[in-house]
Amino acid sequence: MDDTLALLGGTPAKNTPIPEWPYYDERERQALMDVLESRLWWRTPGTQCLAFEGEFARYQQANYAIAVTNGTAALEIALAALGVGPGDEVIVPDFTFVATASAVLAAGAMPVLVDCTPDTYCIDPALAEAAITSRTRAMIAVHMGGNVADLDALLDICRRHKLYLVEDSSHAHGSEWKGRKIGALGDIGTFSFQSSKLMTAGEGGAIVTDNQELERKARSIHDCGRLPGEWFYAHFMYGSNYRLSEWQGAVLRCQLGRADEQRAIRTRNTAFLNQQLSAIEGITPQKQDARCTCNGHYAYIFHLDTSAFAGISVPRFIEALNAEGAPTQASYPPLHEMALFQSGEFRRRLSGEQASQKFPFLHAEFPNTARGAWETVWLPQPALLGSEQDMQLIVAAVQKIQRHADQLVKIAR
């Protein structure tokens, strides 16, 4: 058998295809045709977004859900509904997609970034508490990769300091904390249905909450400040157009119908990978909190100690693993290192004394975020929908790279 690394011209270890994503079948095809022929393409007189909202709220065990244009908009609306605005601070993990922080800037408020834990890569509650000031209004937890952030600790901190807790659940459709679905365990939660997410209509988002007043505000904000039952041209608060289309609502209903079945496959494959990969020297899978009783598994994340791989760089490992036929990607960079923050550009969103305020965290070291950002490898969720044999081949690909890592040291960058 040819054991040469695929990156060096050998045969890939994994020759089976990755399940195609987004997944669809006759159900989506029929649903789209039904919307087409109904001529109800707009949610306001339509039925699909409304039905999806009911189904998604039930799925996440929340009292209410509002379907919106995307996950970034969902965060912006959630913060607006909470009344976050100029002069406020919102505590956000340094390790997340930019939208978690940019939504705070969109509100004219300051995202105060804090480190994550070294093993779950979710926000560290003790550091979040230490970052509270008299200006802090809210915290945003991100359920990284589907693993739920420590909601017990975060809820306790938020209650004691009278802060709102927002759950950015863009990775965590179907995830649970101690037997209850996430999203509405905090004050308000947000989801994304962008193409890479666990269910998708290409773009899309949702807000969930158990709080009737927040639902009323968020629903109004997403529809130009209107209120249900009132005249179409009566506008009661600041809002914009964040409405989802009926096409997307119809597709999302089909996708939701498959969510549990797909999650079961990802859960089974994740257990297999955890067992097999943690036996390989230098590989540490993301820790799953035992209180996270169900995990949507947006990604399979593992830390790579490259000293067990002849000291090759993480990007080189990712390149080699991709060449072996296992899809991998790098992680999010630390937010505070981004040009948005380092150039001072973010200040254009702020006003008053906040616009020139010194924020020490911008020059701080966040060792655990650095570890998550630069030393982890992500297998995206569609790869977790394969068979057990596919998982075996991913493990074999990692083992093969370890056997021959010394050959990757020599080749030019």
Helices (H), 166-289: 212-221, 246-277
According to the binding rule CB under 6 A, does residue 99 interact with ligand PLP?
yes
According to the binding rule CB under 6 A, does residue 331 interact with ligand PLP?
no
According to the binding rule CB under 6 A, does residue 243 interact with ligand PLP?
no
Residue 344's contacts (CB-CB under 8 Å, 6 or more residues apart) are none
In 89-187, which ranges are E strands?
A: 89-93, 110-114, 136-142, 164-168, 176-177, 180-181
Q: Are 125 and 100 in contact (CB under 8 A)?
A: no
Minimum distance from residue 171 beta carbon to ligand PLP (Å): 6
Q: Are 79 and 109 in contact (CB under 8 A)?
A: yes
Question: Do strands 164-168 and 176-177 pair parallel, antiparallel, or not at all (unpaired)?
Answer: unpaired
Query: Whole-angstrom Cα distance, residue 98 to residue 104?
Result: 10
Sole window of 163-171, 233-241, 251-259, 279-287 interacting with ligand PLP (rule: CB under 6 A): 163-171
Q: Which is nearer to ligand PLP, 100 or 381 (CB)?
A: 100
Among 5, 53, 62, 71, binds ligand PLP (CB under 6 A): 71
According to the binding rule CB under 6 A, does residue 219 interact with ligand PLP?
no
Minimum distance from residue 298 beta carbon to ligand PLP (Å): 7
- In terms of phi and psi (left: phi > 0; alpha: psi -120 to 50; beta: otherwise), the region of 373 is alpha
Among 48, 49, 57, 72, binds ligand PLP (CB under 6 A): 72
Sole window of 6-14, 168-176, 363-371, 403-411 interacting with ligand PLP (rule: CB under 6 A): 168-176
Q: Are 148 and 289 in contact (CB under 8 A)?
A: yes
Sole window of 64-72, 80-88, 115-123, 375-383 interacting with ligand PLP (rule: CB under 6 A): 64-72
Q: Which is nearer to ligand PLP, 97 or 272 (CB)?
A: 97
According to the binding rule CB under 6 A, does residue 170 interact with ligand PLP?
yes
Q: Which is nearer to ligand PLP, 60 or 192 (CB)?
A: 192
Q: Which is nearer to ligand PLP, 24 or 97 (CB)?
A: 97
Minimum distance from residue 154 beta carbon to ligand PLP (Å): 16
The CA-atom distances, in angstroms, between 83 and each of 78, 138, 218 are 9, 10, 11
Minimum distance from residue 10 beta carbon to ligand PLP (Å): 35
Helices 388-410 and 246-277 meet at what angle, rounded to 10?
70
Q: Are 209 and 184 in contact (CB under 8 A)?
A: yes
Q: Which is nearer to ligand PLP, 142 or 184 (CB)?
A: 142
Among 14, 43, 171, 336, binds ligand PLP (CB under 6 A): 171
**Residues labelled catalytic:** 97, 168, 171, 194, 197, 226, 233, 243
Query: Whole-angstrom Cα distance, residue 174 to residue 263?
Result: 8
According to the binding rule CB under 6 A, does residue 239 interact with ligand PLP?
no
Size of the site for ligand PLP (CB under 6 A): 14
According to the binding rule CB under 6 A, does residue 102 interact with ligand PLP?
no
The CA-atom distances, in angstroms, between 301 and each of 171, 200, 276, 392 are 12, 21, 14, 17
According to the binding rule CB under 6 A, does residue 97 interact with ligand PLP?
yes
According to the binding rule CB under 6 A, does residue 96 interact with ligand PLP?
yes
Closest CA to 320 of 262, 397, 374: 397
According to the binding rule CB under 6 A, does residue 194 interact with ligand PLP?
yes
Q: Which is nearer to ligand PLP, 60 or 96 (CB)?
A: 96
According to the binding rule CB under 6 A, does residue 70 interact with ligand PLP?
yes
279 by DSSP, 3-state: which? Answer: coil
CB nearest ligand PLP: which residue? 71
Minimum distance from residue 79 beta carbon to ligand PLP (Å): 13
Angle, alpha carbons 279-284-288 (nearest 5°): 110
Closest CA to 55 of 238, 233, 260, 216: 260
* Residues engaged in binding ligand PLP (CB under 6 A): 70-72, 96-97, 99-100, 142, 168, 170-171, 192, 194, 205
